[in-house]
Amino acid sequence: MKPSSFEFQDSIDITQYVKIQLVPYKDMSKSKYVNGVVIKKSIAHKRMKWEIQNPRILLLSNSLGYIKDEMDFHDLTTELRQEDSFIQIVMKKIDQVKPDLIFVQNDASQKAIEALRERNITLVTNVKKTVMQRLARLTQTINCPSTNLLNGNFCTGKCDKFFMESLTIKSLKNTVENNTNLITLEGCLPFLGCTLILSGREMNELKIVKHALKKMLRLSR
């Protein structure tokens, strides 16, 4: 990890680029170094791909599709017709880029999700702005503010592998099970950033370790 204040206008705080992700799990077996990004998220549709080798990545910093305003009371038939037309336009723009994987900062309409699934494109929605910025940095692309800007020359992001892993966590009394989905993009350039995963049953202990690791990272800088 080599932040560059000159070339990339990076912060001198290395913890901005080395992220520590805490994962509740039965033991420490999921703890590891990831040369990329790890987030607690799920794909938009269970029939979308859970794993993609060398994906072409598109980041959209707005919504995807025709998002209905709850206070808007247009005629339903007219609205559906408008949405169908809008989705066709959006998909034509996306088809020019040919992504395998799309991250959207806001929401996506159901029709947009279905249209992407039919194209064998995996979608992740409602991603935090800070995570989108991190994804852009590590996959070497930009957060595109509108699909209108997409064309055949648009530079998509890249990594070696995308995959989602579902972890089942039992409570200490083994009476309640919770599922945690982890999305990982690995194989990014090492000097751009990385993720450290800390797994274990006791979250309080993991938080103490995370705090200590952050202090060590700052001292190493």
**Domain, as residue range, for 107:** 36-187
Give a yes or no: residue 104 inside a domain. yes
Q: In this structure, what token pair is assigned to residue 76?
A: 């339903």
pLDDT per residue over 58-107, tens digit each? Answer: 999 988 876 655 444 455 455 556 778 889 999 999 999 999 999 999 99
How large is the average pLDDT for residues 139-156? Answer: 94
For residues 17 and 2, which has the higher predicted lDDT (pLDDT)? 17
Task: State the pLDDT confidence band at 6, using cuts at 50, 70 and 90.
Answer: very low
For residues 68 and 181, which has the higher predicted lDDT (pLDDT)? 181
Is 37:20 a contact under the CB 8 Å cutoff? Answer: no
Least confident of 33-37, 50-54, 66-70, 104-108: 66-70
Q: What is the model's pTM?
A: 0.86
CA distance readout (Å), 219 to 32, 197, 199, 212: 21, 20, 24, 11
For residues 157 and 191, which has the higher predicted lDDT (pLDDT)? 157
What is the pLDDT at residue 133? Answer: 94
Which of 41, 40, 29, 20 minimizes the C-alpha distance to 193? 20
pLDDT per residue over 111-127, tens digit each? Answer: 999 999 999 999 999 99
For residues 119, 125, 129, 133, the Cα torsion angle rounded to the nearest 10 degrees is -30
Number of domains in the chain: 1
What is the pLDDT at residue 71? Answer: 45
Given a cut of 50, whether residue 32 has pLDDT beyond it is yes
Edge to edge, the sheet with strand 18-24 lists: 18-24, 194-200, 32-34
Give a yes or no: residue 10 inside a domain. no
Given a cut of 90, whether residue 217 has pLDDT beyond it is no
Strand ranges (DSSP E) for the chain? 18-24, 32-34, 36-40, 51-53, 56-60, 101-104, 122-124, 143-144, 157-158, 161-170, 177-186, 194-200
What is the pLDDT at residue 182? Answer: 94
| Helix spans in the chain (H) | 76-97, 110-118, 129-139, 203-220
How large is the average pLDDT for residues 192-219? Answer: 91
Give a yes or no: residue 19 inside a domain. no
Give a yes or no: residue 62 inside a domain. yes
Give a yes or no: residue 58 inside a domain. yes
157-158/143-144 β-pairing: unpaired
Give a yes or no: residue 206 inside a domain. no
Give a yes or no: residue 134 inside a domain. yes
CATH number at residue 99: 3.50.7.10
For residues 24 and 176, which has the higher predicted lDDT (pLDDT)? 24
Give a yes or no: residue 195 inside a domain. no
- 111 φ, ψ to 5°? -70, -35
Is 38:212 a contact under the CB 8 Å cutoff? Answer: no
